[in-house]
Chains A and B, each alone.
Chain A
Amino acid sequence: MAQSKKTRFYIRTAILTVLVVAIIGTIYVNVTKEKNAVLAVGDQAPDFQLVDMEGNVQRLSDYEGQGVFLNFWGTWCKPCAKEMPYIDKHYQLNKDQGVQTIAVNIAESDFKVNSYTKQYGMTFPVVIDRKKNVMDLYNIGPLPTTFLVNPDGEIVRIIQGEMTEQDVANFMEEIKPL
Chain B
Amino acid sequence: MKTLECKCGHINPEGTQLCESCGRPLTEEARNKPLADMRYEGSARRSQTYNKTIIDKVWNFFSSVKVGMWIIVAILVAAAIGTILPQVFYVPANNATEAAAYYERVYGTFGKIYNDLGLSNLYSSWWFQGLIGLLGISLIIASLDRVIPLYKSLKKQKVRRHLSFLQRQRLFTKAEGVQEDVLTDAEKKLKELKYTVRRENGALLAEKGRFSRWGPYVNHLGLIIFLGGVMFRAIPGWYVDETMWLREGETLAVPGAPGYYLENNSFEFDVYDPTDSNEVFSDAIERVGTIASNYQTNLTLYRGENEEITGDPGELTEITEGPTIVNKPFKFESYNIYQMDFRLDELRSMTFQLQDKETEEAFGEQFTIDLVNPESDYDLGDGYRVELVNYYADFTGFEDGEPQSKSPIPNNPAFLIRMFTPDNPQPETSFVLIRETIEPFGENEYKIAFQSAETRDISGLTVRKDLTLPILMVGGIIFMIGVVQGSYWNHRRIWLQQTEDGVVYVAGHTNKNWNSVKKDLHIVTKDTQIPRPVDQQDPEADMDFDEGDEKS
A residues contacting B by CB (< 8 A) are 1, 4-5, 8-9, 12-13, 15-16, 19-20, 22-27, 29-31, 46-51, 57, 59, 74-76, 78, 106-112, 115, 129-134, 136-137
B309 near A48 (CB under 8 angstroms)? yes
B136 near A129 (CB under 8 angstroms)? no
- Smallest CB–CB gap between A51 and chain B, Å? 5
- The complex places the Cα of A19 from the Cα of B124 at a distance, in Å, of 20
**Which 3 A-B residue pairings sit nearest by Cβ, starting from the closest?**
A133-B253, A23-B133, A29-B234
- Smallest CB–CB gap between B138 and chain A, Å? 10
9 contacts between A and B (CB under 8 A): A19-B137, A30-B129, A76-B393, A111-B375, A111-B388, A133-B258, A133-B310, A134-B310, A134-B311
Neighbour of A23 across the interface among B59, B130, B258, B375, CB < 8 A: B130
Does B280 belong to the interface (CB within 8 Å)? no
Known: A48-B311, A131-B251. A12 touches B59 (CB 8 A): yes
Known: A49-B306, A134-B310, A136-B253. A31 touches B124 (CB 8 A): yes
B55 near A13 (CB under 8 angstroms)? yes
A46 near B310 (CB under 8 angstroms)? yes
Residues of B within 8 A of A74 (CB): 408
- Smallest CB–CB gap between B123 and chain A, Å? 10
Does B462 belong to the interface (CB within 8 Å)? no
Known: A15-B140, A30-B129, A48-B310. A109 touches B372 (CB 8 A): yes
- The complex places the Cα of A24 from the Cα of B129 at a distance, in Å, of 9
Closest to A22 in B: B231
A59 near B309 (CB under 8 angstroms)? yes
- Smallest CB–CB gap between B116 and chain A, Å? 18
A26 near B313 (CB under 8 angstroms)? no
Residues of A within 8 A of B258 (CB): 133
Quick one: which of A12, A47, A132 has the most chain B CB within 10 A?
A12
B137 near A51 (CB under 8 angstroms)? no
Neighbour of A30 across the interface among B50, B234, B374, B406, CB < 8 A: B234
Quick one: which of B136, B373, B390, B408 has the most chain A CB within 10 A?
B408
Residues of B within 8 A of A1 (CB): 1
Question: What DSSP secondary structure best describes chain B's contact surface?
Answer: mixed
B408 near A16 (CB under 8 angstroms)? no
Residues of A within 8 A of B136 (CB): 19, 23
Residues of A within 8 A of B388 (CB): 111
Residues 367-390 of B contacting A (Cβ, < 8 Å): 372-376, 388-390
Additional A-B contacts beyond A48-B310, A107-B408 (14; CB < 8 A) = A9-B55, A12-B56, A13-B55, A15-B141, A16-B58, A19-B136, A26-B231, A27-B133, A49-B306, A50-B312, A111-B376, A111-B391, A134-B310, A137-B310
Residues 37-94 of B contacting A (Cβ, < 8 Å): 50, 53, 55-56, 58-59
A4 near B1 (CB under 8 angstroms)? yes
Does B320 belong to the interface (CB within 8 Å)? no
- Smallest CB–CB gap between B55 and chain A, Å? 5
- Smallest CB–CB gap between A32 and chain B, Å? 10
Residues of A within 8 A of B53 (CB): 9
- The complex places the Cα of A71 from the Cα of B408 at a distance, in Å, of 18
B312 near A111 (CB under 8 angstroms)? no
A26 near B253 (CB under 8 angstroms)? no
Residues of B within 8 A of A12 (CB): 55-56, 59
- The complex places the Cα of A51 from the Cα of B311 at a distance, in Å, of 9
Does B398 belong to the interface (CB within 8 Å)? no
Does B255 belong to the interface (CB within 8 Å)? yes
Closest to A106 in B: B408
B252 near A76 (CB under 8 angstroms)? no
- The complex places the Cα of A9 from the Cα of B56 at a distance, in Å, of 8
- Smallest CB–CB gap between B154 and chain A, Å? 23
A49 near B130 (CB under 8 angstroms)? no
- Smallest CB–CB gap between A44 and chain B, Å? 13
Closest to B46 in A: A8
B1 near A131 (CB under 8 angstroms)? no
Quick one: which of A22, A46, A131 has the most chain B CB within 10 A?
A131
- Smallest CB–CB gap between B170 and chain A, Å? 35
Residues of A within 8 A of B342 (CB): none
B252 near A132 (CB under 8 angstroms)? yes
- Smallest CB–CB gap between A42 and chain B, Å? 18
Does B497 belong to the interface (CB within 8 Å)? no
- The complex places the Cα of A108 from the Cα of B410 at a distance, in Å, of 12
Residues of A within 8 A of B393 (CB): 76
Residues of B within 8 A of A9 (CB): 53, 55-56
Neighbour of B55 across the interface among A16, A27, A46, CB < 8 A: A16
- The complex places the Cα of A25 from the Cα of B255 at a distance, in Å, of 26
